[in-house]
């Protein structure tokens, strides 16, 4: 039996990759990152990788026990949704310590014209009053919420090609961040964008669009983050997460 501590990271984010890279350098740790498998060619982190779901909280709890996981770190996207609640339930059932890495959200600054909403459906309902040419940066999974807006034109940016239902007047841009301010300025200008739609994902890799929209005086519809499980300790970045692990296992 290995005497290394087994750490499972629920990943798919920049923070998860950075954390896996840091922890994998520690010979006293075995690091496994789990990816949901929604991206065709994900950026693979250091250490071991598994792809696919667990089968709900009971399946995850079983995997934690079978693989003798010593600590679980939820470093999924702020909008990943169900997985964070599954992680909290599974960690409690398997009696495994759990930490959530929660990157800080974006905050509006002077000159921003932000319209916070609770959902993609609410964003779609607001759009016709704000513009005619929308830059949609909410990912490929939620386009159905905008499919009925036949009079609007959409620039949709995502890592993988979206599938229907989708808006009838749409141009797809396949790209992956980080994005530069100059690039976002040019994108807004070239496509004559007059409204931006985004999720409050946080992080710097995709924040340049907000600065470009501010400079251009373009309104931004911001979808607020969904609720997260209560009572789970959190870290703002991989460095804090690594420190939490050191406190959990001072002998590692």
Residue 109 lies in a domain: no
Regarding whether 183 and 170 lie in a shared domain, the answer is: yes
pLDDT of residue 40: 66
* pLDDT confidence tier of residue 38, bands split at 50, 70 and 90: confident
Q: For the chain, list the strands marked E by DSSP.
A: 5-10, 29-35, 48-51, 71-74, 98-101, 114-117, 133-137, 153-158, 170-174, 195-199, 220-223, 234-235
For the entire predicted model, the pTM comes to: 0.90
Full residue range of the structural domain in which residue 235 is found: 5-104+227-248
Q: How far apart are the first and last CA of the chain?
A: 16
CA distance 1 to 3: 6
Regarding whether 51 and 18 lie in a shared domain, the answer is: yes
Regarding whether 22 and 96 lie in a shared domain, the answer is: yes
Regarding whether 174 and 188 lie in a shared domain, the answer is: yes
Regarding whether 120 and 160 lie in a shared domain, the answer is: yes
Regarding whether 60 and 137 lie in a shared domain, the answer is: no
Write the CATH number for 234: 3.40.50.720
Regarding whether 51 and 120 lie in a shared domain, the answer is: no
List, in sequence order, the alpha helices (H) in 111-207. 120-126, 181-190
pLDDT, tens digit, 9 for 90 and up, residues 5-29: 999 999 999 999 999 999 999 999 9
Regarding whether 100 and 72 lie in a shared domain, the answer is: yes
Number of domains in the chain: 2
pLDDT, tens digit, 9 for 90 and up, residues 148-187: 999 999 999 998 899 899 999 999 999 988 999 999 999 9
Regarding whether 217 and 118 lie in a shared domain, the answer is: yes
């Amino acid at each position: 039996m290995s005497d290394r501590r087994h750490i499972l990271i629920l990943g798919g984010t920049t923070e998860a990759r950075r954390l896996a890279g840091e922890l994998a350098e520690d010979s006293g740790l075995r690091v496994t990152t789990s990816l949901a498998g929604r991206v065709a060619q994900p950026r693979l982190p250091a250490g071991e990788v598994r792809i696919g779901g667990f089968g709900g909280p009971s399946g995850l709890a079983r995997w934690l026990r079978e693989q003798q996981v010593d600590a679980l770190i939820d470093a999924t996207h702020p909008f990943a949704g169900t997985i964070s609640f599954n992680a909290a339930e599974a960690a409690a059932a398997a009696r495994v310590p759990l930490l959530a890495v929660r990157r800080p959200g974006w905050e509006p600054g002077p000159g921003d014209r932000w319209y916070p909403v609770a959902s993609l459906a609410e964003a779609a309902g607001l759009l016709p009053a704000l513009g005619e040419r929308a830059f949609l940066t909410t990912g490929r999974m939620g386009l159905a919420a905008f499919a009925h807006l036949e009079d609007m034109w959409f620039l949709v940016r995502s890592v993988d090609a979206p599938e229907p239902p989708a808006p009838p007047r749409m141009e797809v841009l396949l790209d992956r961040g980080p994005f530069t301010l100059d690039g976002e300025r040019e994108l807004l200008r070239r496509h004559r964008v007059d409204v931006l739609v985004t999720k409050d994902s946080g992080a710097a890799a995709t924040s340049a669009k907000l600065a470009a929209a501010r400079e251009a005086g373009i309104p931004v519809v911001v979808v607020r983050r969904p609720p997260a499980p209560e009572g789970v300790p959190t870290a703002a970045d991989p460095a804090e997460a690594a420190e939490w692990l050191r406190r959990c296992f001072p002998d590692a």
